[in-house]
């Protein structure tokens, strides 16, 4: 076999990932039995574990390890004035056009993806209206009446409740500037064209940190958080060929931002943003102070200077990062017997299942179940006694399980089991009583 054939092939076609995700229960269309609902996705058993592991690692790095960051979990629906103050009611819109013939709706700035018109004979061009502004916030009604007074919005970003809660959290946690408030949660945007699998969805999760600092320190903290966040993305396995930063041009900046850098990942559909690091200045706190009538400034205990803190934000899409993790993990490898395998090379700390216990025969159920029960105390484990061992290994490779533990008929005699490594496929005999420690050492959080 030539070296070229032996090199693993990265994901090229999103369809290959989408079908694996549905088949193996990572992610699939929401309400599938009714034909799906555009822009909404469900995570199955493997996807949920992957996502939870990613969120736990983010929480560990951004909140738990930092004495200067506090975590919160706010309501999804905030007072409607929140979204007036934040500028979302006025500014949070995309330009939209409709095709008069096929009735499809497109983002005016993404017409290259519009495809051909299905309803115009003699011309494949769409018959487009003038662009109109389309507000992306999803609305709902609170209470029994559907009148205007009861209209509310599902949050379009998780950070606005952080600004609402700034004063309360600072006082309760007895934090001084500089410090941050973080949360992970759902956000909703009525995207005109959800696309690229989960990349642009209408319901998604964000993990956001708002870090409050003195105006004289904003550049320093911007650099600090950019560096921290890049370190995180490298830690979860993104290499320099697939990760880059892109500073925003002045004309791209969101209405609140003074400076912004996108962290981008190279997907099969091109370089795309997975995280934004933003210098939001004092926009949010000043606006919420104005709209609520509350003083959201702070007084420096030493100089007695009263000022509104500046905000440095890190905002990562959990679903987009999960998608990048799936793309990054996917590899097709040629095997020596002429076969090939699909293997999801997740970082072990993020892998949905850490170890599979595979008795070679159903007669070995007793010691295998005993080992499974012991391992379940520490990690997510899968038990599989069906089919030939090669096929069972392949199934675990597709799930991204870093280790398979095979109990065989020798195990009773030598007190050992075979541990197979997902990536190298190498196998070693490990004493049964040492397997939990062996695996825990290898599947913990990256240091």
User: How many CB atoms sit inside 10 A of residue 125's CB?
Assistant: 12
Which residue, 275 or 398, is less far from ligand GAP as judged by CB? Answer: 275
Please give the C-alpha separations between residue 106 and each of 100, 160, 268, in angstroms, as whole numbers. Answer: 12, 28, 22
Candidate segments 24-32, 76-84, 267-275, 410-418, binder of ligand GAP by CB under 6 A: 267-275
**Encoded tokens for 441:** 């050492």
**Does residue number 372 form part of the binding site for ligand GAP (CB under 6 A)?**
no
**Does residue number 408 form part of the binding site for ligand GAP (CB under 6 A)?**
no
Angle between helices 218-235 and 45-59 (to 10 degrees): 140
Which residue, 97 or 159, is less far from ligand GAP as judged by CB? Answer: 159
**Nearest residue to 297 via CA among 166, 162, 175, 169:** 166
**Does residue number 201 form part of the binding site for ligand GAP (CB under 6 A)?**
yes
Which residue, 84 or 366, is less far from ligand GAP as judged by CB? Answer: 84
Letters for 59-78 (x = contact with ligand GAP by CB under 6 A, - = none) are --------------------
Which residue, 179 or 199, is less far from ligand GAP as judged by CB? Answer: 199
In the bound complex, which residue of the shown chain has the CB atom lying closest to ligand GAP?
317
Provide, rounded to whole angstroms, the least separation between the CB of residue 31 and ligand GAP. Answer: 18
**Does residue number 274 form part of the binding site for ligand GAP (CB under 6 A)?**
yes
Q: Which long-range contacts (CB under 8 A, 24 or more apart) does 297-305 make?
A: 298/170, 298/177, 300/177, 300/214, 301/176
**Does residue number 279 form part of the binding site for ligand GAP (CB under 6 A)?**
no
Which residue, 315 or 406, is less far from ligand GAP as judged by CB? Answer: 315
Angle between helices 159-173 and 283-292 (to 10 degrees): 80
Which residue, 191 or 384, is less far from ligand GAP as judged by CB? Answer: 191
Please give the C-alpha separations between residue 214 and each of 163, 300, 301, 308, in angstroms, as whole numbers. Answer: 16, 9, 13, 8
One-character DSSP codes across 340-377: EEEEE---TTT-S--EEEEESSGGGHHHHHHHHHHHHT
What is d(CA 380, CA 53) in angstroms, rounded to the nearest whole number? 11
CB 152 within 8 A of CB 75: no
Exactly one of 49, 70, 94, 191 binds ligand GAP (CB under 6 A); that residue is 191
**Does residue number 275 form part of the binding site for ligand GAP (CB under 6 A)?**
yes
**Encoded tokens for 61:** 């790095």
User: What is the layout of strands, in order, in the sheet containing 93-98?
Assistant: 105-107, 93-98, 132-135
CB 211 within 8 A of CB 221: yes
**Does residue number 264 form part of the binding site for ligand GAP (CB under 6 A)?**
no
Question: What value does the CA radius of gyration of the chain take, rounded to a whole number of Å?
Answer: 25
Which residue, 274 or 368, is less far from ligand GAP as judged by CB? Answer: 274
Exactly one of 92, 179, 204, 221 binds ligand GAP (CB under 6 A); that residue is 204
Letters for 149-188 (x = contact with ligand GAP by CB under 6 A, - = none) are --------x-x-----------------------------
Candidate segments 119-127, 147-155, 216-224, 269-277, binder of ligand GAP by CB under 6 A: 269-277
Provide, rounded to whole angstroms, the least separation between the CB of residue 155 and ligand GAP. Answer: 10
Chain contacts with ligand GAP (rule: CB under 6 A): 157, 159, 189, 191, 200-201, 204, 206, 208, 273-276, 313, 315-317, 319-320
């Amino acid at each position: 076999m030539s070296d070229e054939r032996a090199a693993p092939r990265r994901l090229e076609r999103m369809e290959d990932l989408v079908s694996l995700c549905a088949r193996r229960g990572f992610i699939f269309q929401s309400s599938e039995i009714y034909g799906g609902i555009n822009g909404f996705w469900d995570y199955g058993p493997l996807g949920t574990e992957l996502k939870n592991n990613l969120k736990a690692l983010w929480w560990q790095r951004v909140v738990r390890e930092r004495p200067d960051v506090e975590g919160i979990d706010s309501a999804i629906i905030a007072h409607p004035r929140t979204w007036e103050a934040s500028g979302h009611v006025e500014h949070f819109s995309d330009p939209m056009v409709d095709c008069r013939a096929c009735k499809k709706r497109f983002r005016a700035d993404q017409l290259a993806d519009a495809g051909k018109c299905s309803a115009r004979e003699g011309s494949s061009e769409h018959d487009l209206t003038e662009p109109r502004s389309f507000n992306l916030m999803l609305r709902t009604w609170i209470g029994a009446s559907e009148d205007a007074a009861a209209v509310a919005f599902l949050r379009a970003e998780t950070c606005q409740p952080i600004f609402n809660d700034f004063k309360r959290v600072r006082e309760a946690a007895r934090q001084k500037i500089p410090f941050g408030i973080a949360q992970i949660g759902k956000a909703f945007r009525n995207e005109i064209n959800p696309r690229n699998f989960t990349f642009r969805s209408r319901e998604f999760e964000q993990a956001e940190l708002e870090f409050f600092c003195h105006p004289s320190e904003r550049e320093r903290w911007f650099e600090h958080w950019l560096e921290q966040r890049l370190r995180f993305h490298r830690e979860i396995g993104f290499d320099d060929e697939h990760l880059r930063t892109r500073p925003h041009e002045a004309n791209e900046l969101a209405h609140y931002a003074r400076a912004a850098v996108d962290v981008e990942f190279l997907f099969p559909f091109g370089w795309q943003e997975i995280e934004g690091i933003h210098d939001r200045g004092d926009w949010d706190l000043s606006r919420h102070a104005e709209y609520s009538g509350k003083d959201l400034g702070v007084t420096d205990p030493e100089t007695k200077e009263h000022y509104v803190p500046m905000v440095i934000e890190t905002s990562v899409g959990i679903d987009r990062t999960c998608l990048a993790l799936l793309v990054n993990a996917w590899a097709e490898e040629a095997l020596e017997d002429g076969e090939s395998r699909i293997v999801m090379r997740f970082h072990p700390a993020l892998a949905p299942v850490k170890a599979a216990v595979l008795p070679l025969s159903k007669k070995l159920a007793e010691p295998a179940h005993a080992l499974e029960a012991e391992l379940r105390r520490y990690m997510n484990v899968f038990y599989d006694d069906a089919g030939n061992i090669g096929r069972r290994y392949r199934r675990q490779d597709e799930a991204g399980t870093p280790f398979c533990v095979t109990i065989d008929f020798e195990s009773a005699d030598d007190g050992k089991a075979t541990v197979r490594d997902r990536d190298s496929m190498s196998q070693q005999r490990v004493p049964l009583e040492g397997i939990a420690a062996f695996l825990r050492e290898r599947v913990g959080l990256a240091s």
